[in-house]
Amino acid sequence: MHELVARDAREFGVYARTGGWTFALKVARSVRPGGQVAGETPKVSAKEFAELAGCSPERVMRYYKAWDMAADDGLVPQFEALSPGDDIELPEADVWLSYYSSRNSATSVRGTAITAAAEAEGIRPTKALEVAENPTALRAAILADPSTAQAARAALLDRLREDPTLQAELARDVVRTEELKKAVATENRAADRIGYVRQIVDSGQVKTPAGQTIDAPADLRAEAERHLSLLDELDEDEDTGEWATEAYDNVKSLVVQTVEADPELRVQERRTKFYSSLQRATKVFEELTLDDATDLDDIYEADMLDQLESLQQALTVCIENLRRATTPAG
């Protein structure tokens, strides 16, 4: 085999096993640590090393800092223990990105915030910085991996609580996306139904279909508690819609049965329903104004008058029925 091919294969194998550590070692054993006098070591400054390498001093220092952090963790020797030409057993390649940052992001305002958040989560800042510097990779992981998507969702919810701008942007995204609008409506409906059941358990009272508030009977409250305990036992990622609907329908059915079983309550329910309908009708009719009387010719349609006359007849019948109810029999 040609010697040059064999050498390339060996060097490729070394890099495949160690990745960036291979180049970091060259920096660590050849670049003079800060505070060390030039005459005391054959090592050179990062600037001189960069000039010899034909790259920027900043690039050399990124490798230098990665090695420095790894040395602090006991993963590799300290700079002072290395001399030019020394060879050591290097860490695995996949560990390299935990220490190396391809940009000087860690010193920026953004990088400082990411570093603080990573430390609060108990992870190495370099890992968080690496993710932040490669949003395309983050997007790919979220799209491909459900567990990554769940972690991103949880983090986004935490961020939303303290970021009004992001809240507004996400709200706009939701209302502009038909699928999300439907999902939000479904979740709101489920939450309202769960709230109805929970309110019975917490307060011991319930609203009837007509809107009056009554004390919940023992069997009704017990049924609400049973459904609520089932709902509370659901895992966070489980769909509550079907369970919420079943709980709501069962409890509402019991409320109707409670009203129908009590003659006095049944009468009060009908009275409350009538008043509610009357108030709604009154409000709607009060909004039908003829302030622009001069324009009536423009808006007039024959069926308008027909509908008003039908309404008048219905009101007359209703009034007569109520008057008969107030007239003593005999």
User: Per the structure, how many domains does the chain have?
Assistant: 3
Q: Look over the chain and give the mean of its residue pLDDT values, rounded to a whole number.
A: 84
Domain membership of residue 291 (yes or no) is no
Of 264, 282, 300, which residue constitutes the final position of a domain?
264
Give the pLDDT band (50/70/90) at residue 323: confident
Query: Is residue 23 located within the same domain as residue 93?
Result: yes
- Return the pLDDT at 28: 92
What's the average model confidence in pLDDT over 208-230?
A: 89
Indicate the angle between helix axes 178-203 and 241-261, nearest 10 degrees.
40
Query: Is residue 190 located within the same domain as residue 259?
Result: yes
| pLDDT surpasses 70 at 16 | yes
Domain membership of residue 89 (yes or no) is yes
| pLDDT surpasses 80 at 112 | no
| pLDDT surpasses 80 at 289 | no
With beta carbons less than 8 A apart as the criterion, state whether 205 and 215 touch.
yes
- Other CB atoms within a 10 A radius of the CB of residue 71 amount to 18
Query: Is residue 134 located within the same domain as residue 150?
Result: yes
Domain membership of residue 44 (yes or no) is yes
With beta carbons less than 8 A apart as the criterion, state whether 104 and 115 touch.
no
Query: Is residue 79 located within the same domain as residue 151?
Result: no
What's the average model confidence in pLDDT over 290-319?
A: 78
Query: Is residue 158 located within the same domain as residue 208?
Result: no
What's the average model confidence in pLDDT over 237-261?
A: 88
Of 56, 85, 101, which residue constitutes the final position of a domain?
101
- Return the pLDDT at 41: 79
Query: Is residue 113 located within the same domain as residue 166?
Result: yes
Of 66, 101, 136, which residue constitutes the final position of a domain?
101
| pLDDT surpasses 60 at 12 | yes
Give the contacts of 21 (CB within 8 A, at least 6 positions apart): 76, 90, 91, 93, 95, 96
- Return the pLDDT at 328: 65
Give the pLDDT band (50/70/90) at residue 222: very high
Query: Is residue 16 located within the same domain as residue 56?
Result: yes
pLDDT tens digits along 176-187:
999 999 989 998
Give the pLDDT band (50/70/90) at residue 294: low
Give residue 151's domain range: 109-176
Query: Is residue 201 located within the same domain as residue 137?
Result: no
Domain membership of residue 194 (yes or no) is yes
The tokens describing 152, both together, are 């991103």
Give the pLDDT band (50/70/90) at residue 94: confident
pTM of the predicted structure, to 2 decimals: 0.50
| pLDDT surpasses 70 at 296 | no
What's the average model confidence in pLDDT over 134-146?
A: 87
Domain membership of residue 303 (yes or no) is no
What's the average model confidence in pLDDT over 157-181?
A: 90
Query: Is residue 57 located within the same domain as residue 75?
Result: yes
Query: Is residue 232 located within the same domain as residue 198?
Result: yes
Give the pLDDT band (50/70/90) at residue 329: low
Query: Is residue 96 located within the same domain as residue 115?
Result: no
d(CA 24, CA 14): 13
| pLDDT surpasses 60 at 127 | yes
Query: Is residue 116 located within the same domain as residue 136?
Result: yes
Domain membership of residue 238 (yes or no) is yes
Domain membership of residue 330 (yes or no) is no
| pLDDT surpasses 60 at 136 | yes
Domain membership of residue 258 (yes or no) is yes
